[in-house]
Structure 1
Amino acid sequence: MSAVKQLKASARERVGKGAARAVRREGRVPAVIYGLGEAPQPIALDFNETKRLIFSGGFLTTLFEIDVDGSKTRAIPRDFQLDPVKDTPLHVDFLRVTRDATVNVEVPVHFLNQEASPGLKRGGTLNVVRHTVELVVPVDAIPDAIDIDLTGREIGDSIHISAVKLPAGASPVIQDRDFTIATLVAPSKLAAEAAEEAAAGEAEEK
């Protein structure tokens, strides 16, 4: 679980594209805090700090306490935009949250102990179906990642959400099916040989 991170910001009086461009020229990133039935609050963030937070990983699963000119608000990032050419932050959206709130978040999946998987040792491939899983979690217990242990996994195994140990209080948003997160598939050469053997066996039976 990530600790609550402190983030400094300043209020913005003007909004709109022109105002946002002016903020960027000053070396800051325009952002907005919305939610809980309150009016959206335009703010500006430090450019370098925002870039570091976004690219250090886990930004969208981090709970922030945003200090806007001395007034503090708890919020989580809901979206951010990057410059398509420079890959630098252009804008960030934050959602206000209460201390006892639950939120939907996309949590990355990490696969552990790949060297302990017999299937991978034999040349199998880990076919990742979902790189993230959307969870409903308490806002103060958002996990950094979901860890899946591949120890003992063989070629042909499928890893479903029901086999994954989730953090306390967390549940998948999708409840109507036991969806697949990853499978261990045979290498193409072995798969082709198996198909040829199966076809030969069928021909002999005929």
Structure 2
Amino acid sequence: MKVVAFKRELQGTGASRRLRNSGQTPGIIYGGTEAPVTIALDHNALYHALKKEAFHGAVLDMELDGKVQKVLLRDFQMHAYKQLVLHADFQRVDANQPVHVKVALHFENADVSPAVKLHGATISHVANEIEISCLPSALPEFISVDLSKMDVGTTLHINDLTLPAGVTAVTHGNNLTIATASVPAGQVSADAAAEEKK
């Protein structure tokens, strides 16, 4: 994905307010061997890009002064109640250095799992994203989580995930829970009552 940015000379609250009033969003690019650069981006293009999941976890091509550099979106601030992006932070990416990024989880095959199909259980998604480490070229848009083997009472952990080649989960020593399968309390008592009637 491509992002077009412009160098921003004026800084401070007043300059940022004037920038936003003119339909632009202030931002910054940092990291790597170069000094941080303050930038301005087209607000509407950035606002719509932020709605795309891939924009948050992909290596982006940022064009600045005719040069294209690889960056990651690191942070952004939204207005409390207006549809307004207040600021965006981008980090330069070195193709030979691993990056640490949070990537979305896509849950699949819950409807064919024994927990749902046989027992009418509910599968709860405990985490919707995980932190990974990989080279920029191996960065996945998302990670698929196969729920087809989950049964009632089972828990899926981060170590159970099948990660793409070259990608490792950053767990900080914790085998975090990703999903759990349980039968809703009301259904358990209804099933018990049905058994008693037999």
Alignment TM-score, normalising by the size of structure 1: 0.86
2:176 corresponds to: 179
Instruction: Report the secondary structure of 1:58's partner residue.
Output: helix
Determine whether 1:46 maps to 2:33. Answer: no
What residue ranges of structure 2 are gaps of 5+ in the alignment?
193-198
Which residue of 24, 46, 51 maps to 2:20? 24
Q: What is the correspondence of 1:93-172 to structure 2 with a 5 Å cutoff?
A: 93-121=89-117, 122-172=119-169
Query: Contact between 1:60 and 1:79, CA under 8 Å: does it hold in 2?
Result: no
Shift in Å at residue 131 of structure 1? 1.1
1:199 corresponds to: none
Question: Which amino acid in the other structure matches residue 116 of structure 2?
Answer: L
Distance 1:157 1:15, change over 3 A: same
Shift in Å at residue 175 of structure 1? 4.7
- 1:157-187 Cα offsets, whole Å, 9 max, x none, are 1111221110111111115232211110111
Shift in Å at residue 99 of structure 1? 1.4
Shift in Å at residue 37 of structure 1? 3.9
Instruction: Report the secondary structure of 1:43's partner residue.
Output: strand
Query: Contact between 2:97 and 2:135, CA under 8 Å: does it hold in 1?
Result: yes
Query: Contact between 2:110 and 2:123, CA under 8 Å: does it hold in 1?
Result: no
What residue ranges of structure 1 are gaps of 5+ in the alignment?
196-206
Question: Which amino acid in the other structure matches residue 107 of structure 2?
Answer: F
Question: Which amino acid in the other structure matches residue 182 of structure 2?
Answer: V
Instruction: Report the secondary structure of 2:116's partner residue.
Output: helix
Which residue of 11, 31, 34 maps to 2:30? 34
Question: Which amino acid in the other structure matches residue 57 of structure 2?
Answer: T
Shift in Å at residue 36 of structure 1? 1.5
In 1, the alpha carbon distance for the partners of 2:104 and 2:153 equals 23
Query: What CA RMSD, in Å, does the superposition of the two structures yield over aligned residues?
Result: 1.9
Percent identity reads: 35
Question: Which amino acid in the other structure matches residue 154 of structure 1?
Answer: D
Shift in Å at residue 81 of structure 1? 0.6
Alignment TM-score, normalising by the size of structure 2: 0.89
In 1, the alpha carbon distance for the partners of 2:2 and 2:22 equals 22
Question: Which amino acid in the other structure matches residue 43 of structure 1?
Answer: I
2:76 corresponds to: 80
In 1, the alpha carbon distance for the partners of 2:104 and 2:74 equals 15
Query: Contact between 1:29 and 1:45, CA under 8 Å: does it hold in 2?
Result: yes
1:71 corresponds to: 67
